[in-house]
A and B are shown apart, each in its own frame.
Chain A
Amino acid sequence: MNPLYYPDNQGFYGDFGGAFIPEMLYPNIHELQENYLSILESKEFVEQYSKLLTDYVGRPTPLYLAKNLSERYHTNVWLKREDLAHTGSHKINNTVGQVLLAKKLGKNRIIAETGAGQHGVATATVCALMNMECIVFMGETDMKRQAPNVARMKMLGAEVQPATSGSKTLKDATNEAIRYWINHPNDTHYIIGSVVGPHPYPDLVARLQSIISKEITVQLLGLTGRSSPDAVIACVGGGSNAAGAFFHFLKTPDVLLIGAEAAGEGVNTGRTAASLHQGSRGIIHGSMTMLMQDKNGQITEPHSISAGLDYPGIGPLHAQLFVTGKAKYYPITDNEALKAAFLLSRLEGIIPALESAHALAVLDHIHFDPGQHVVINLSGRGDKDLSTFLQNLDNYASVR
Chain B
Amino acid sequence: MHPLDKLFKTKEKEILSIYFTAGYPTRESTARILELLGRHGADLIEVGLPFSDPLADGPVIQHSSQVALSQGITISEIFDQMKSANVHKPLVLMGYLNPVLQYGFEDFLFDAAAAGACALILPDLPAEVFVANYKSLYEKYNIYPVFLISPQTSDERIHMLDSLSRGFLYAVSSSSTTGKAERFGESQKLWFDRLKALKLKNPVLAGFGIHNHNTLRFVFDHLPGAVVGSAFIKNLDPEQNDYGIPGFMKQLLNT
A interface residue numbers (CB < 8 A to B): 10, 18-24, 26-27, 165-166, 171, 175, 178-179, 182-186, 281-286, 293, 295-300
Q: A175, B55: Cβ atoms under 8 Å?
A: yes
B244 at the binding interface (Cβ < 8 Å): no
Residue of A whose beta carbon sits closest to that of B150: A24
- Shortest B111–chain A CB gap in Å is 14
Q: A19-B126, A20-B126, A165-B66 are in contact. Are A183 and B176 (CB under 8 A)?
A: yes
Contacts of B172 in A (CB 8 A): 23-24
Contacts of A175 in B (CB 8 A): 53, 55
* Alpha-carbon distance A31/B99, docked complex (angstroms): 29
Q: A24, B97: Cβ atoms under 8 Å?
A: no
Contacts of B128 in A (CB 8 A): 10
- Shortest A222–chain B CB gap in Å is 46
16 A–B contact pairs at CB < 8 A? A18-B126, A19-B126, A22-B55, A22-B148, A23-B123, A23-B150, A23-B153, A26-B153, A26-B157, A27-B154, A175-B55, A182-B56, A285-B55, A295-B102, A296-B102, A298-B69
Q: B51, A183: Cβ atoms under 8 Å?
A: no
Beta-carbon contacts of B23-55 to A below 8 Å, as 1s and 0s? 000000000000000000000000000011101
B3 at the binding interface (Cβ < 8 Å): no
* Alpha-carbon distance A175/B101, docked complex (angstroms): 20
- Shortest B177–chain A CB gap in Å is 5
Q: A23-B153, A165-B62, A298-B99 are in contact. Are A286 and B124 (CB under 8 A)?
A: yes
Contacts of A184 in B (CB 8 A): 175
B255 at the binding interface (Cβ < 8 Å): no
Beta-carbon contacts of B114-131 to A below 8 Å, as 1s and 0s? 000000000111101100
Which residues of B from 129 to 163 have beta carbons under 8 Å from A? 129, 147-150, 152-154, 157, 161
Among the listed B57, B74, B101, B177, which residue makes an inter-chain contact with A283, where contact means beta carbons less than 8 Å apart?
Answer: B101
Given A23-B161, A24-B56, A182-B175, 11 other A-B contacts at CB below 8 A?
A: A20-B124, A22-B124, A27-B152, A182-B177, A183-B176, A185-B152, A282-B101, A296-B99, A297-B98, A298-B51, A300-B52
- Shortest A337–chain B CB gap in Å is 26
Q: Which of A22, A179, A186, A295 has the most CB of B within 10 A?
A: A22
Residue of A whose beta carbon sits closest to that of B128: A10
- Shortest A179–chain B CB gap in Å is 5
Q: A18-B129, A20-B129, A179-B55 are in contact. Are A282 and B102 (CB under 8 A)?
A: yes
Contacts of B101 in A (CB 8 A): 281-283, 297
* Alpha-carbon distance A299/B56, docked complex (angstroms): 16
Among the listed B75, B97, B150, B152, which residue makes an inter-chain contact with A296, where contact means beta carbons less than 8 Å apart?
Answer: B75
- Shortest A38–chain B CB gap in Å is 20
Q: Which of A19, A24, A185 has the most CB of B within 10 A?
A: A24
- Shortest B53–chain A CB gap in Å is 5
- Shortest A198–chain B CB gap in Å is 9
* Alpha-carbon distance A250/B43, docked complex (angstroms): 57
Among the listed B57, B98, B153, which residue makes an inter-chain contact with A299, where contact means beta carbons less than 8 Å apart?
Answer: B98
